[in-house]
Amino acid sequence: TDPYQPIERQMAITRQILQIMAETRHPVGLITKSDLVTRDIDLLADLARDNLVHVGMSVTTLDPKLARIMEPRASTPA
């Protein structure tokens, strides 16, 4: 499941988990379709300095109209 679901904007649970991972220097891997991942770039960059993070993103299509039909809750490709 994508850790950056729409409710993450209010709850910030993924961010809290990333903070703990950064504090304990625990490796992290995540896959998302959301641009919300950029909110946590500070924590991800900190983990990346020690090669402790892998972030994967997928883009289904570059056509915004088709993207809204296929994945209405995912971030637009633009």
| CB distance 32 to 3 below 8 Å | yes
Render pLDDT for 12-58 as a digit per residue (tens, 0 to 9).
999 999 999 999 999 999 999 999 999 999 999 999 999 999 999 98
Q: Quick check: is 3 in a domain? A: no
Helix (H) or strand (E) holding 65: helix 64-70
Q: Quick check: is 44 in a domain? A: yes
pLDDT band at 75 (very low <50, low <70, confident <90, very high): confident
What is this structure's pTM? 0.85
Among 43, 10, 13, smallest CA distance to 1 is for: 13
Q: Which domain range does residue 50 map to?
A: 8-70
Q: Quick check: is 53 in a domain? A: yes
Q: How many domains is the chain partitioned into structurally?
A: 1
- Give the SS3 label for residue 78: coil
Q: Quick check: is 41 in a domain? A: yes
Helix (H) or strand (E) holding 32: strand 28-32
Q: Quick check: is 77 in a domain? A: no
